[in-house]
Amino acid sequence: MAWMCNKCKVEVEEVDDIQLFFKDLSLPEATGYRCPQCGVEYIDSEFVVDQLSAAEQMLEGK
């Protein structure tokens, strides 16, 4: 299923270099989608949850 940009109504491109931030924490680059026209980025929310819980575990393990 192709994702569409809500604004431009064009198909977004799959990319793997989306930069995520959680509070002041910089997370590893994520796979997601970027609109080739306006540059808005979409990410798989499940992937984000995984990344955030991994980051939380890292912090708790300190």
Residues that bind Zn ion (CB under 5 A): 5, 7-8, 35, 37-38
Q: Would you say 19 or 37 has its CB closer to Zn ion?
A: 37
Task: Quote the least distance from Cβ 11 to Zn ion, whole Å.
Answer: 10
Which of 38, 58 has the CB closer to Zn ion?
Answer: 38
The per-residue b/e assignment along 30-61, b for 16 or more CB within 10 angstroms, e otherwise, is: bebbbbeeeeeebbeeeebeebeeebeeeeee
Q: CB nearer to Zn ion: give 20 or 35.
A: 35
For residues 5 and 38, is the Cβ–Cβ distance under 8 A?
A: yes
